[in-house]
Amino acid sequence: MVAETAMTKEARQLTLAEAKDGDWLIVTGTADESVKWQALRFGIGQGSLIQVQKNIRKGPVIISKKHVEIAIGRELAACVCVVPAPEPDNGNGNSRGSHQ
């Protein structure tokens, strides 16, 4: 049973480049130190909660984090590991909608 749960969690891990429009995600890591520092310059580190606004095929991935939209190049997005996150609640039982 424990192995099944671990496999389920592993199967849910994806890269930012694979995410779909509207997905809420938590950043779990990066491919290497260089990518880590590039992501940190955008304010995206391990544990960051982000939402995909638009994943442009063969183009950048546009994300939002705390009311700021950032376009991340596809190559960098392919090196950022994420897992799905539940849609955040704004404190009164209503979801925040498309912008954080």
Rounded CA-CA distance 37/28 in Å is 14
Rounded CA-CA distance 56/21 in Å is 9
User: What domains does the chain contain, in order, with CATH numbers?
Assistant: 9-84 (2.30.30.90)
The predicted-structure confidence for 64-92, as pLDDT tens digits, reads as follows 999 999 999 999 999 999 999 998 876 65
Residues of the chain with pLDDT under 70: 1-11, 90-100
- Cβ partners under 8 Å of residue 53, min gap 6: 21, 22, 62, 63, 64, 69, 98
Its pTM stands at: 0.77
